């Protein structure tokens, strides 16, 4: 049974990965008059001199760190609340998943309209609170666009975090809390000494899932701003290189190098999490 599994994995996962690695050492495009040329590490060196790449890298890291941190905190909070017994708990648990259940392509467009300057409900709301002046383009300003996108991502993905953490919470035996109560531990102590340690592997898995997702974020950014006003992430830039420029120049190797960097970045984060949280993978 091992052999077929290895075979399937190598065909669907390793082959494209190695092909991308391999391609990243060449200069080529889809234009018929461009010959594929071996250039060694040139693509990587060029990338780190490419201001647009560096800006996208910075944006991606900011997006990832801020959105994942907020999603984890809010997710934990919500999970603890809906883990308590109360009326209509089932309904609340189901309803809470709605933002996550809506396809990102649709919810991003919906939020884009809500941030619209002409009658967008979020714009009107922020105007009423005197946070922005009337007609201010939230998605058209370098000071606000990235934060608006992060807000949408937090709105969308917090339920997913909450759900994962809730599953972890339910695995903690009730006896532990009872014993702690008898020993006189208060709410905060019970949370920090029992809940958090027992949850660490769940949170680690959730963090890995979310971080890996956030590092390759594409849809919400592409739909809301197409990467303008300083919101271009690595995946959005990669799309420009591999799709918009497929027939115009020799960008495929460069785009492959960028793909490899996204892959490495994700691996680094994954390894840090696994090591620091002493996660057992087997």
Partner 1 sequence: MRKFLLAVLLLTLAVVAFSGSRVTITMTAGAVGKELEVLYAQLDVFMKQNPNIKVSVMPMPNSSTERHDLYVTYLASGEKEPTVLMLDVIWPAEFAPYLEDLTADKDYFELNKFLPGTVKAATVNGRIVAIPWFTDAGLLYYRKDLLEKYGFKNPPKTWDELVQMAKTITAKEKNMVGFVWQGARYEGLVCDFMEYLVSFGGDVLDEQGNVIINSPAAVKALQFMVDLIYTHKVSPQAVTTYMEEEARRAFQNGQAVFMRNWPYAWSLLNDPKESKVAGKVGVAPLPAGPGGKSAATLGGWMLGINKNATPEEKEAAKKLIKFLTSYEQQLYKAVNAGQNPTMMDVYKDPALKKAAPFMVELYGMFINAVPRPRTAKYSEISDVIQKYVHAALTKQTTPQKAIEDMAKELNKVLGK
Residues between 213 and 232 with contacts to partner 1, criterion CB under 8 A: 225-230
Our CB check for partner 1 shows the closer of 117 and 213 to be 117
DSSP assignment of 36-57? PEE-TTHHHHHHTT-HHHHHHH
CA 202/CA 198 separation, integer angstroms? 8
CA distance 34 to 208: 40
Q: How far apart are CA 171 and CA 165, in angstroms?
A: 10
Give the nearest distance from C-beta 133 to partner 1 in angstroms: 9
Residue 117 sits in the site that holds partner 1 (CB under 8 A): yes
Q: Which residues pair with 26 in a beta bridge?
A: 38
The minimum distance between CB 149 and partner 1, in angstroms, equals 13
* 135 in contact with partner 1 (CB under 8 A): yes
Q: Which of 249, 270, 274, 279 binds partner 1 (CB under 8 A)?
A: 249
Give the interface segment with partner 1, choosing from 14-22, 41-49, 61-69, 114-122 (CB under 8 A). 114-122
Count the neighbouring beta carbons within 10 Å of the beta carbon of residue 101. 11
Phi, then psi, of 202 in degrees rounded to 5: -65, -45
CA torsion sign for 165, 167, 170, 176 is: negative
Binding mask 51-90 for partner 1 (x = CB under 8 A): -x--------------------------------------
In terms of CB distance, is 52 or 193 closer to partner 1?
Answer: 52
The residues near 172 (Cβ < 8 Å, ≥ 6 apart) are 194, 195, 198, 199
| 142 near partner 1, rule: CB under 8 A | yes
Span interacting with partner 1, options 116-124, 163-171, 193-201, 202-210, rule CB under 8 A: 116-124
99 binds partner 1 (CB under 8 A): no
CA neighbours within 13 Å on the CB side: how many for 260? 19
Candidates 61, 74, 109, 137: give the one binding partner 1 (CB under 8 A).
137
Cβ proximity to partner 1, 131 vs 264, nearer residue: 131
Output 39 or 162, the one with its CB closest to partner 1. Answer: 39
For residue 38, the cross-strand partners are 26
Among 18, 58, 244, 271, binds partner 1 (CB under 8 A): 244
- Between CA 14 and CA 160 the distance in angstroms is 28
Q: How far is the CB of 132 from partner 1 (least distance, A)?
A: 10
Tokens encoding 21: 């690695």
For partner 1, the binding residue among 14, 15, 125, 247 (CB under 8 A) is 247
* Residue 121 CA to its chain's centroid (Å): 26
Torsional sign, CA 60, 214, 244, 113 = negative
Distance of CA 153 to the CA centre of its chain: 8
32 scored as a contact of partner 1 (CB under 8 A): yes
Q: Which of 11, 105, 243, 268 binds partner 1 (CB under 8 A)?
A: 243
Under the rule (CB under 8 A), what is the footprint of partner 1?
A: 30-33, 52, 116-118, 135-137, 139-142, 225-230, 240, 243-249
């Amino acid at each position: 049974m091992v052999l077929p599994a290895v075979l399937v994995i190598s065909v669907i996962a390793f082959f494209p990965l190695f092909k991308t690695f391999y391609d990243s050492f060449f200069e080529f495009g889809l234009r018929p008059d461009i010959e594929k040329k071996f250039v060694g590490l040139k693509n990587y060196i060029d990338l780190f001199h490419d201001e647009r790449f560096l800006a996208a890298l910075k944006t991606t890291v900011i997006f990832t760190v801020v959105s994942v941190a907020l999603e984890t905190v809010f997710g934990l909070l919500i999970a603890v609340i809906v883990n308590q017994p109360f009326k209509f708990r089932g309904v609340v648990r189901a309803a809470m998943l709605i933002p996550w259940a809506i396809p990102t392509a649709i919810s991003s467009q919906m939020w884009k309209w809500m941030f619209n300057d002409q009658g967008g409900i979020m714009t009107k709301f922020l105007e009423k609170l005197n946070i922005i002046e009337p007609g201010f383009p939230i998605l058209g300003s370098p000071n606000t666009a990235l934060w608006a996108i992060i807000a949408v991502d937090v709105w969308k993905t917090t339920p997913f975090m909450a759900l994962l953490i809730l599953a972890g919470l339910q695995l903690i035996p009730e006896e532990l809390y009872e014993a702690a109560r008898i020993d006189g531990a208060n709410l905060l102590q019970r949370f920090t000494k029992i809940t958090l340690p027992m949850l660490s592997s769940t949170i680690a898995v959730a963090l890995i899932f979310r971080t890996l997702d956030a590092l390759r974020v594409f849809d919400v950014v592409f739909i809301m701003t197409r990467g303008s006003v300083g919101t271009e992430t690595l995946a959005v830039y990669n799309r420009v290189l591999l799709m918009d420029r497929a027939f115009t120049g020799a960008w495929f190797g460069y785009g492959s190098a960028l793909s490899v960097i996204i892959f490495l970045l994700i691996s680094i984060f994954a390894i840090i999490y696994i090591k620091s949280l002493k996660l057992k993978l087997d």
